[in-house]
Structure 1
Amino acid sequence: MTPCWTGLCPPPVARDQAYPQQQEPSVSQRTFRTQPEHNTYDVVIVGGAIMGSSVAWWLSQNVDFDGRILVIERDPSFEQCSTAHTNSCIRQQFSEPLNVKSSQFTLQFIKGLRTNMGGDERVENLSVQDFGYLYLADNHARAEELKAAQAMQSALGAGTRILTRDELAEAFPFYDLNDIILGSHGTKDEGYWDGGALFDWFRRKAIEAGVEYLSGDVTDVQTDGARATSVTLLDGTQIGCGHLVNAAGPRAALLSKMAGLDVPIEPRKRFTWVFSAANPLDRPLPLTVDPSGIHFRQDGPETYMVGAAPHDDVAVAPDDFHMDHSIWETHVWPHIATRIPQFEALKIVTEWAGHYAYNTLDQNAILGPHPDIENFQFINGFSGHGLQQAPAMGRGLAEIIAHGGYRSMDLSPFGYERIVTGTPFGESAVI
């Protein structure tokens, strides 16, 4: 199977009647300028993948904002962006209510995508392949964390449940559960969804609403001490800005440094494998978050997907996508074959490396203005759960730009102030 690396289509997964592919927008609508139409813009967004395009679309729909918007993307093919390498899943199993609510908004938004994008008949509503997430606890402290989180999730309307070891064995008899105390399982609205289609519609509809997309590489940011005033491109072009949005994903720290700012975000490599099993399971495999840190899930009727971090989880160059093949043999395969003995005989179908935009403070979003450079706006640091939060985060940042504050969901706990004070956002359910 050939993976899709463009970021303009779903991630590389096996599909058939059980996992139907959503209809996607025509690729003929991809439009990038090579020179800006204007010398200055009310909002300049650096990074055109799902976060930048979400902000652009929400701004273009805000009746209180009528300014010019420019999105600058260094790689119009989107081959190396995190959106292109995502496993495209959504969950409600977080430990912090604000993360649960953010994903719940995305669920509402994508299920009514056509209506939410103005009733455009070209737009298909999106669905979730509900294989669910399953967090496994192998110690009492972790078990108590899962119980507390599940109670909060349930109070917010999530379909999560706690299963004892015996209940896990009955529901999923293929697991080896000798070391497991209990699990937290999602029964609805958790699983795969077509994030690539949402990205393409955000971008396409933003362009149709007048947002300009420019192929260019930002090499410098000019400030007057209190505000970002302009950006300079590799070819020397200088573009003025009213607001500057950092949507540069794993390159967020590089852009921030151009403005003399520090942000604790770095590219961290993550590996994904898709494999077929000689002895497939007799029921769908939830996205299992194993105590080892490895996660694996159903990918098709007889194929499965597994993800893992490298042994040395450190910052890498933003263009480093080299696969460490040894990690499969020495770490990943032994763990999944122990947890699911039926996976002792399997065959890799495809594999790839991608990047988390990893927030080293607390692995959660940084959203909104910098306290010193007031028009330098962050939408960064999602550390692996950004795709499912893109609609809520894009809407929130658009509200800050248009209104000076949040109007729908209060996302202020994600603000930069916690970076200054070194106060982590308390999310513990990070994969």
Structure 2
Amino acid sequence: MKSQHVVVVGGGVIGSAIAYFLRAADQGVGVTVIERDPSYARASSALSAASIRQQFSTPLSVQMSLYGIEFLRSIGERLAVDGVAPSIDLHEGGYLFLATPPGLQTLRENHALQTSLGADIRFLDKPSLKATFPWLHTDDLAAGAYGASGEGWFDGYGLVQAFRKKAQSLGARYVAADVTGIVRDGDRVQAVLTHDGQRFDCDMMVNAAGAWSRKIAEMLGIDLPVYARRRSIFNFKSPARLARCPLVIDPGGVYWRPEGETYICGVSPGADRDFDDLPLSEVDHELFDDVIWPALAARVPEFEALRVQTSWSGYYEYNVLDQNAIIGRHPAVSNCVFANGFSGHGLQQGPATGRGVSELILHGRYTTLDLSALSFDRVLANEPIVEKNVV
């Protein structure tokens, strides 16, 4: 059943993609997006490493990112406003997942799945790995998987702005306000309330509040297993000039990629230091000194001489169940769709999510890519999706 008016809580990449797809599909549907911070100063979309890959171990994640790269490649045509095409500086430099002997079988299995779905991933044995990337230290490695095309990085803030401006040009209304309450009658949301006394009546509500989505769910009386987990990113300069450098994932989880004449890097902290709601004003420099730098220097000897230029922190909207998105309705609320818990994959899965949620709202079902495996049902049944390539 079509909704006459949809209120989307959260105007980052997920909320803005949903607004765009809704208005592009049906101009008769009213869309209001409530975003607490229109500057996006604390938004995960603007503070992430902004990358896209198909190297996942679950078919749906691969398929979502295959659509994602298709969308990003055609963003100038899709999201142009008044003839002006946005630019997100898409660079298809590829991902390179490295594996030691214990991880070789998993790498092979993942590669077989990815290529069967159409991803352009090359399996590189140890000699090929060294020949292709001669600057790598490979003594402890067994193989690597390299995205020859369709993987890379881009301007995340630019993507958010492109979705937002296009959605606005199609008639979506954006409101700068903080949601402080939700009016609910039985299993239906009636209205969304904001800090400045405004009330937004709705036929359908979408929770796309990113790292703050748990608080929105609590207003509905729903336990959403999504928490704000801080991730620190470091920009460093090195005399190393690595020809043909992709985004590299070391077996221990440390990643790095080029950023102009410098590099950016990071790693997910261990459970002993990965706490909820840590302040974004702080950066985990000890993590760089204790974990990241030693791994960089061991993998690329020239990185022994490096200097951190800048650093910052952003939030993962971290799904503690399985680090995969939760998309769809909760059985207790019939007219609320959740799109949360992307755990670092929101930018690349934003186009597929926006399209899918719009289909769910407008048609009551998915009409293109079936996202039902990501529904709330698995959360309630405590049946996590096992993703082997969590970064």
Within a 5 Å distance, the mapping from 1:4-403 to structure 2 comes to 42-63=5-26, 66-117=28-79, 121-124=83-86, 128-140=90-102, 142-281=103-242, 283-300=243-260, 302-311=261-270, 312-317=272-277, 319-403=279-363
Q: Distance in 2 between matches of 1:212 and 1:125?
A: 23
The Cα offsets for residues 116-154 of structure 1, whole Å up to 9 and x where unpaired, read as: 3478521146663232111111233x2111111111111
What letter corresponds to residue 84 of structure 1 in structure 2?
A
Q: CA deviation at 1:348?
A: 1.3
User: Is the contact made by 1:95 and 1:429 (CA closer than 8 Å) also made in structure 2?
Assistant: yes
Give the Cα separation in 2 of the matches to 1:359 and 1:339: 30
Deviations 1:369-421 (A, max 9, x none): 11110111111111011101101100100111111111111111111111010
Stretch deviating more after TM superposition (250-259 or 125-134): 125-134
1:313 offset after TM fit, Å? 4.4
CA deviation vs aligned residue, 1:162-205 (integer Å, no higher than 9, x gap): 11122211111222222211111111121112333222121111
- Please give the alpha-carbon distance, in whole angstroms, between the structure 2 residues aligned to 1:420 and 1:139: 37
Q: Quote the sequence identity (%).
A: 39
SS at match of 1:210: coil
Do the aligned residues in 2 keep the contact of 1:250 with 1:318 (CA within 8 Å)?
A: no
Task: Supply the distance in 2 between the matched residues of 1:295 and 1:208 (Cα, whole angstroms).
Answer: 38
Q: Take 2:209 and 2:216, find their aligned partners in 1: how far apart are those partners?
A: 7
Counterpart residue identity of residue 211, structure 1: A
> 1:134·1:287 contact (CA, 8 Å) conserved in 2?
yes
Alpha-carbon separation, structure 2, partners of 1:80 and 1:429 = 26
Q: Which amino acid in 1 is paired with 2:277?
A: A
Q: Is the 1:321–1:354 contact (alpha carbons within 8 Å) kept by the matching residues of 2?
A: no
1:80–1:319 CA contact under 8 A, matched in 2: no
399-408 or 162-171: bigger deviation: 162-171
Alpha-carbon RMSD? 1.8
**2:80 and 2:166 in contact (8 A); partners too:** no
Aligned length: 388
Tell whether the 8 Å contact from 2:9 to 2:34 is kept in structure 1 after alignment: yes
CA distance in 1, matches of 2:326, 2:207: 10
SS in 2 for 1:374: strand
Q: Where does structure 1 lack aligned partners over 5 or more consecutive residues?
A: 1-39
TM-score with structure 1 length normalisation? 0.86
